[in-house]
Structure 1
């Protein structure tokens, strides 16, 4: 298909998607027009329409000033709220749709801050040129459905290119978060970054220092849950952005071994991310994709290797305890990026446990060892299954088949023990109230120690009948309390 034919196809897709806009949107647009103001759908929704994706999370821009926008929306009967009036944005809910309407802007930036000095603009074309990338700098005038594309966004969309509407050095210097957005859109859209834009990303990566950790984290989450995270990670590493955002991942490049004594840990990591994604389930499965915890654990699982690499006799390379070291590094990095406590706990725990399976195929695990594996994984067990399987990237077919068979066997044993013992809910055979009654003690540390003893028995031996559990508890208490 020629470029002109592909452009025509994209325009047709956009037309079809936009003609399906809710009637309420067109009624709002008509009201703005009657009041003498322009009104347009802008940004991501227009880009998605050109990709044949029905617009959602609709953003609009208008020539009306914020107070005028508020008055017009109120007159339509919409419920309105101020979500950023000083930045020109008014939110509204009208006949079942939620919209954000922003006055045309022509911002100026303080070089020491990414917060713009807001100035309202007078033209739609001027508003579009201040946006991050040309594919996001398209608008559709409403209600006429006229496409406005002053920066060549449609051509770049057809070519699969990310490019800034103005000089990328100016764009990224004004708002350094756009550097992260470039990586994210690469992963989300599958587009390439044009050469000039990529060079500016590398030259201005240090500008990310003025961006809040929370904003960087949000872009990283979107990147990792996009369609092709690998593309975004690769562009971050290539431009040096990873050294600012995820230096532990960038450091994996340092383990490349020109003598071939061990595999390329960086390339291995990217493959593990891809394979973990392939093992996600649909919404009805145990790990519905996209699953950030699984994907980020796959990305971070070997970050402890550079710090633990040692060369032994005859060039043998080892990474002893890289799982433990990597878990600590992951926890530290995620705290600095302001992730929530549960996500930090889950991801770092998976990194810590990802090596636990290795050796299962060489030495038969006892039922106790299987119980401990399940207990240590807890609610992360299904993710751990997938991370462990994804971590096999060997090109040795026999070794790969042997690892797969070993893990199949482990999962089968877990299923068999689960059926007999309810492994997912392993608890001591006596609860806290029973412990206090049997030992005639009050709530306190002694109860916790007794409970830990009983849990250890449960993991080692499986379920005990209450009488046997009581006998063993009393014997333990005589020596320890």
Structure 2
């Protein structure tokens, strides 16, 4: 039984949240008031809806505003044409959505929907509805099924027929209708649940968790591109570990990112964590702590996936130990394979794979035994990823042994200081041969072709090994090398 004090506290919090939302929306009166008047003048209703209302209540409203209305798309276009700063149709009109920009706000105005789904693909048979309640009940979660009526005089009325505010106050994700029906209509909603867990810090209702577990295989109906978008939003959230855990516990991850739950089977070689999976989540958390500004998706993905090569490289050693030799090489290949399957851009994929490949190299540094040549190669191989590599390597220290952790930090501090000293002496960001292609061709009497590239690569290796050379030294070394090639 809920105590009167608990009820009073919940009511008080609800009142405060609604008051905060009113203040937040009041700051948009220069957009909302005239827009409401335009619709009212044509005899139509207008509601702010969905994530816009949820985020206004949570005090995190952005510049994207979602509306719903009883007006048909062609009428909506006619109403906002001339008022909006920009108006366009990118295919949304077929689904009842008109997009516009006004005073820096992006508006999406969608006619009430009453869609049905074929439940084979995820494509709805678009039909327009005739009531707000009918529109709200078809939305993904109750916290996204609240609305605010935008009146002609600037008045705003909060509408919550499905208990979205109560769910928000409890931090619970639940579906307006039976979750099985909702997820059958659109399986992407299962992945969106994990995404909202990450973004909002909410917990899925038990019936939602059970439905996802039973229906995880249905996510295979969703295109890789749509899955990728949700995964990026999840990993960029404030609580990505919770979202990842939900995916793994319900079986979703086994369908879209199987390399991550596979790490649960592998105990790390230092026996410092339950398994490699929890170590990887700790590394992700520690990498996030080092971010400056917006979420760094490349760093976060590399942190999560840096050890995915361990299951395939596990070896039981004498004495009961475990090793994962060359797991960084195998892991980089696995990253490329998975990210290509998810249709990630080529450069993004290569950046994440490169960080995974390089994350272990620092451990060969020992107590500073690397030569200057090795330091140059470390910097050159990382290239523009070097700041991220610094963060990933530091995040990868998850030992509970305080003395060992301090020693690792001190050693990496020394490596970074050494890199900086070399950077001041040389241009490490642009390690190139001391002779360019034209000079090589003139000196060796070559025409453009593979031999010039081979000579260029030799000089680059020489530059990495010995640092900057004078022109005379570079020419002499190149001529000596050329004799050995002919």
Q: Same fold (TM over 0.5)?
A: yes
User: How big is the shift at 1:80?
Assistant: 2.5
Please give the alpha-carbon distance, in whole angstroms, between the structure 1 residues aligned to 2:82 and 2:409: 65
CA distance in 2, matches of 1:404, 1:82: 54
User: What SS does structure 2 have at the residue aligned with 1:141?
Assistant: strand
Counterpart among 339, 342, 347 of residue 347 in structure 2? 342
Select 2:37's aligned residue among 17, 25, 30: 30
- Matched with 1:419 is 424
Give the distance between the partners of 2:313 and 2:377, measured in 1 at CA. 26
Q: Deviation at 1:24?
A: 2.8
Structure 2's unaligned 5+ residue stretches are 1-5
Q: Which residue of 2 aligns with 1:85?
A: 93
State how 1:76-475 maps to structure 2 within 5 Å: 76=83, 79-83=86-90, 84-143=92-151, 144-256=155-267, 264-282=275-293, 289-362=294-367, 364-475=369-480
Taking a change above 3 Å as real, the CA distance of residues 257 and 429 of structure 1, as seen in their structure-2 partners, is closer
Cα offset, 1:54, TM superposition: 3.5
TM-score by length of 1: 0.96
Equivalent residues of 1:17, 1:55 under 8 A apart: no
Q: Is the 8 A contact 1:261 1:316 kept in 2?
A: no
Please give the secondary structure, in 2, of the residue aligned with 1:281: coil
Shift of 1:33: 1.0
- Checking the alignment, whether the CA contact within 8 Å between 1:432 and 1:451 is kept in structure 2 is yes
CA distance in 2: counterparts of 1:96 and 1:279, whole angstroms:
32
Q: Distance in 2 between matches of 1:28 and 1:348?
A: 48
Distance 2:102 2:206 in 1: 43
Displacement after TM superposition at 1:259 (Å): 12
Structure 2 CA distance, aligned partners of 1:263 and 1:406? 27
**What CA RMSD, in Å, does the superposition of the two structures yield over aligned residues?**
1.7
SS at match of 1:357: helix
Q: Structure 1, unaligned stretches of length 5 or more?
A: 283-288
Hey, what's the Cα distance between the residues in 2 that align with 1:313 and 1:130? 59
Task: Give distance in 1, aligned partners of 2:362 and 2:85.
Answer: 58
Q: Deviations over 1:215-250 (max 9, x none)?
A: 000011111111111111111111111101110001
Residue 202 of structure 1: SS of its match in structure 2? Answer: helix
Q: Deviations over 1:38-74 (max 9, x none)?
A: 1011111110110122342011110001111112122
Cα separation, 2, equivalents of 1:427 and 1:259: 40
CA–CA separation in structure 2 for the residues paired with 1:130 and 1:358: 53
Match of 1:294, SS? helix
Cα distance, 1:78 vs structure 2: 5.5
* TM-superposition CA deviations, 1:318-346 (whole Å, max 9, x none): 00000000000011000000000000000
- SS of alignment partner, residue 147 of structure 1: strand
How big is the shift at 1:79?
A: 4.0
State the alpha-carbon separation in 1 of the partners of residues 121 and 243 from structure 2.
25
CA 1:262–1:299 in 2, change beyond 3 Å: closer, same or farther?
closer
Deviates further, 269-278 or 146-155: 146-155
Distance 1:51 1:398, change over 3 A: same
State the partner residue of 1:286: none
Structure 1 contact 335–344 (Cα < 8 Å) conserved:
yes
The CA deviation string for residues 169-212 of structure 1, in whole angstroms up to 9 with x for no partner, is 11111101111111111110111111110111111111111100
Instruction: Give CA deviations for 1:337-381 in whole Å, capped at 9, x if unaligned.
Output: 000000000000000000000131346111111011001101100
Superposition pairs of residues 1-12 of structure 1, within 5 angstroms: 2-12=9-19
Provide Cα deviations, 1:266-298, integer angstroms capped at 9, x if missing partner. 11000000000001123xxxxxx3100000000
Does the aligned pair in 2 maintain the 1:177–1:216 contact within 8 Å?
yes
Q: Which residue of 1 aligns with 2:3?
A: none
Counterpart-to-counterpart distance in 2, 1:394 and 1:165: 45
Shift of 1:125: 1.1
Aligned partner of 2:482 in structure 1 is: 477
Matches within 5 A, 1:45-60: 45-60=52-67
Once the two structures are TM-superposed, the CA of residue 96 in structure 1 deviates from its matched residue by 4.8
Q: CA contact under 8 A between 1:125 and 1:148: conserved in structure 2?
A: no
Aligned structure 1 segments of 4 or more residues deviating by more than 6 angstroms? none
The count of corresponding residues between Structure 1 and Structure 2 is: 475
**SS of the residue 1:172 aligns to:** helix
TM-score when scaled to structure 2? Answer: 0.95
